[in-house]
Amino acid sequence: MAHTDLVTKIRNLDRLTPSETLIADYIFQHYPEVAFENVTSISQKTGVSKATVVRFIKRLGYDGYAHFHDTVRAEMMDEYASPEQRFSLMKKNILDGDRDLLGQNISFIMKNLQQAHARIDRAAFERAARMIADPDRHLYVIGQRTSYGLAYMLYTLLGYVRPRTTILEMQSAMLPDVLADIGPEDMLFAISFRRYARTTSRVARHFSERGAAVIALTDSEFSPLGGLSELQLIVPSDGLAIFRSRCAATALLESLAIAALQFCDSTTMGRSAKLETLFDHFEVYSPRTGR
């Protein structure tokens, strides 16, 4: 448990100064909410300087307060996995903090985007783009719950780029009909974020056992898709309140679709033209109006 680990770190320190004792007591009394506070709030509530707070955190083995904040917060989000538990954990922090929730959420989004960019290996990204652009493979895309929206977006974007792309719907009773003939010539792009949908993992295992390639987009190396995929793209999903963020995942999928264009041949533009003709025929979009 994260609480036990943190308490052990503090108790293993040789000696605490009076100021450090105040910080330690505050952590004990306000755990787990303390994982969502900043240096300034802890300093103000304990009457200890911000520099002392940072030094104490470093004594616990963290690189700095940001490292402490990110590590403990991630551990707590794993323990408090359901939306209801997450809300109970974070409600007080949100209500007592800065009421600019739009600004707070955008800050979370920017942080996630920066971490995703720094974390994803460029060679792995290019390999994924090359794989999803391969017209010789039938590409299947799956995502459950909130990940379904991501899966549908990728499916729609790739419709301009390549033929034979299928999105696997959330009605699990229909999956056997679609998956009966999966083989090594097929490929799956699986999207799954905490609390990792079981159906997505089962489908990924089905593809893997039949020799088909599996690309996974998830938020942890230890997700259920880890041992089932030959290529894994990891993006953070840290969110402000009860919801996990999908902005980094959205940015990655858009970037993959763009990158896939460089590996497509001239038939791509012909496919796009066919789609536009069909859009007009079925009146998919509202007619353009001049002003």
In tens, the pLDDT along 98-143 reads 567 788 788 888 988 998 998 899 999 999 999 999 989 999 999 9
pLDDT value at residue 6: 75
Report whether 23 contacts 53 (CB < 8 A).
yes
Q: Which domains does the chain have, with CATH numbers?
A: 2-97 (1.10.10.10), 119-281 (3.40.50.10490)
Residue spans of the chain under pLDDT 70: 1-4, 32-33, 35-36, 74-99, 240-242, 269, 288-291
- pTM score, whole prediction: 0.70
Say how far apart CA 42 and CA 25 lie, in whole Å. Answer: 11
**CA angle, 214 as apex, 208 and 216 as ends, to 5°?**
125
Amino acid making up residue 284: V
pLDDT value at residue 94: 58
Report whether 45 contacts 26 (CB < 8 A).
yes
Q: What SS3 class is residue 87?
A: helix
For the stretch 205-233, pLDDT in tens is 999 999 999 999 998 887 889 889 999 99
pLDDT value at residue 78: 59
Say how far apart CA 147 and CA 49 lie, in whole Å. Answer: 43
The two three-digit tokens of residue 26, written as one number: 């505050």
The CA–CA distances, whole Å, from 11 to 14, 52, 159, 269 equal 8, 18, 57, 65
